[in-house]
Homo-oligomer: A and B are copies of this chain.
């Protein structure tokens, strides 16, 4: 399970499921590829992804976590970071962090004509919930480690 042999990040296989979102949201993240870089080493306290966004792709629905911190580092390209307070164009070597419970919803959008590649880190604190100010969806991390998605009125997504 745990192997400490170093690996070339770009050669790690793509994650089998490209997204956990139910439709119509899954289709919104077409053009996004993720390679899990912590799981191969058996890490469980946090996860790391090497994520590639094709032109036009987005990192996620714009969202905020209640308990889990997030952090990103841009390796290639120029994504636009959109938060509650506005938009910022990022470039390689820039980073940003999103503290849990601040309600500052964020995502990256690739409005450029070249791919964007970045590292994203998030911890796995239990009991996390995700809010999506722009969309009729909420998420809760179940005690089984799976995300449960519902409409904002509480109706589960099928």
Contacts and interface: CB of A to CB of B under 8 A. Distances in A.
Interface in A34-50: 37-38, 40-46, 48
A96 interface: yes
B6 A121 contact: no
Interface in A119-138: 119, 121, 123, 125
Question: In the complex this chain forms, how many copies of it are found?
Answer: 2
Interface in A58-90: 68-69, 71, 73, 81, 83, 85, 88, 90
Interface in A99-114: 99-100, 102, 104, 106
A9 interface: yes
Interface in A18-36: none
A9 B95 contact: yes
B93 A69 contact: no
A141 to B, nearest CB: 14
Given A6-B90, A45-B46, A46-B46, 8 more contacts: A2-B99, A4-B98, A4-B102, A41-B96, A43-B69, A48-B121, A119-B119, A123-B123
